[in-house]
């Protein structure tokens, strides 16, 4: 009985019980790209002024565009180019 109570009251443990995002992993791309660009620009810019938001948005779009381009390139490589040699 005590084991049942302890297991049901445990909080979510990220490294022991990871989220099952195998089919929705791409939803994490936009927040991750935004946070990476926000942190990078906060460290690299000399003055965090009104142009900070513009820099962060531009870099976020660049990261997302690069990820889409890499996905298309790897798709073409694996499913179009490589089968031509086998």
Report the candidate in 62, 69, 76 with the shortest Cα–Cα distance to residue 30. Answer: 62
Query: What is the per-residue pLDDT across 37-58, written as a single tens digit (0 to 9) for each?
Result: 999 999 999 988 889 999 999 9
- Structural domain boundaries, residue 70: 20-85
C-alpha angle with apex 60: 25 to 46, nearest 5 degrees?
140
With residue 2 as reference, give the H or E element that holds it. Answer: helix 2-9
| Residue with the two structure tokens 């790209």 | 33
> Domain tally for the chain?
1
In a domain, 43, yes or no: yes
In a domain, 64, yes or no: yes
Query: What is the per-residue pLDDT across 2-38, written as a single tens digit (0 to 9) for each?
Result: 555 555 556 778 888 887 888 888 889 999 999 999 9
In a domain, 7, yes or no: no
Q: Are 63 and 56 in contact (CB under 8 A)?
A: no
In a domain, 75, yes or no: yes
3-class SS at 42? helix
Report the candidate in 15, 14, 64 with the shortest Cα–Cα distance to residue 36. Answer: 64
């Amino acid at each position: 009985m005590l084991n049942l109570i302890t297991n049901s009251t445990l909080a979510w443990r990220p490294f022991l019980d990871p989220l099952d995002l195998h089919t929705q992993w791409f939803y994490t791309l936009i927040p991750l790209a935004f946070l990476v660009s926000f942190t990078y620009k906060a460290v690299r810019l000399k003055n965090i002024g009104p142009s900070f938001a513009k820099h962060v948005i531009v870099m976020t779009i660049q990261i997302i565009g690069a990820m889409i381009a890499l996905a298309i390139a790897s798709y073409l490589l694996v499913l179009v180019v490589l089968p031509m040699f086998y």
